[in-house]
Amino acid sequence: MSIEDHSGQGPLEPGPASPREPLVRAPLPALALAASFLILYGVQSLVFGDAAITRFGFSPADLAQGRVAGLVTGLFVHGGWAHAFLNALGGLAFGTPVARLCGRGARGTAAFLTFFLVCGALSSLGYAFLHWGEPTLLVGASGGVSGFMGATSRLMGPGPGLARFASRPVLSMAGAWIFVNLVAATVGLGDVTGGAPIAWEAHLAGYATGLLLIGPSLRLLWRV
């Protein structure tokens, strides 16, 4: 059996597990990633305090000067317990289908984590493109989690394969995520993010990355 990529790029081979199993049986990679957000925020609070945001957060100004580490480190720094918890919950909910599709074992785990890091890094790059050279600091895993959301939207079709980009599930979920982020950008969620503004541009860039890359990522994984 094969999983058909309805974006027009051909069939995909299935992973060793169905992406539609109950969430309570989430794969270990998704559980570990979600737990890491909470554990690392605990370390951040006890060891670094607010200095962690400046030291490890992502800034377009740093990128303009060639400092790129924040593209990764910023994903694991949060503005508060609520911020870390929401990203852990989102990572578990939307990372679970992606982890199941990537499959078990070292290769599946590596593919899952790489997908998260790529989505997160490109979400920050999308923000930097619109705010080049600004000293704003971005923290949190939401760019990578948004990538999981975009990827998951393509797993919500009626058939066993990836849904078409123009399908109702994909368009509905994308429209809802755009709406939520525009509202958050207007109203603000300072109590959740530790007073920092919502980087809706990064969220949408991460979502688009996951939406577009899930098909090519799976084909590359299953051909290795």
Q: Is residue 19 part of a domain?
A: no
pLDDT digit string (tens) for the chain, length 224 residues: 334 454 444 445 444 444 444 445 889 999 999 999 999 999 999 999 989 999 999 999 999 999 999 999 999 999 999 999 999 999 999 999 999 999 989 999 999 999 999 999 999 999 999 999 999 999 999 999 999 999 999 998 777 789 999 999 999 999 999 999 888 877 765 555 555 567 899 999 999 999 999 999 988 887 65
Q: Is residue 11 part of a domain?
A: no
Q: Is residue 21 part of a domain?
A: no
Q: Is residue 181 part of a domain?
A: yes
**Whole-Å CA distances, 204 to 8, 10, 145, 211:** 24, 27, 11, 10
Residue 110 belongs to domain spanning: 26-223
What pLDDT, on a 0 to 100 scale, did the predictor assign at position 195? 52
Q: Is residue 4 part of a domain?
A: no
Dump the DSSP string for the chain.
--EEETTTTEEEPPPSS-TTS-GGG--HHHHHHHHHHHHHHHHIIIIITTHHHHHHSB-HHHHHTT--THHHHGGG--SSHHHHHHHHHHHHHHHHHHHHHH-SHHHHHHHHHHHHHHHHHHHHHHHHHHSTT----B-SSHHHHHHHHHHHHTT-SSSSSBPPTTSHHHHHHHHHHHHHHHHHHHH--HHHHTTPPP-HHHHHHHHHHHHHHHHHHHHHHHH-
Q: Is residue 9 part of a domain?
A: no
Q: Is residue 126 part of a domain?
A: yes
Q: Look up the CATH number of the domain holding residue 62.
A: 1.20.1540.10
Count of domains for the chain? 1
What pLDDT, on a 0 to 100 scale, did the predictor assign at position 151? 97
Instruction: Give me the amino acid identity at 163.
Output: A
Q: Is residue 12 part of a domain?
A: no
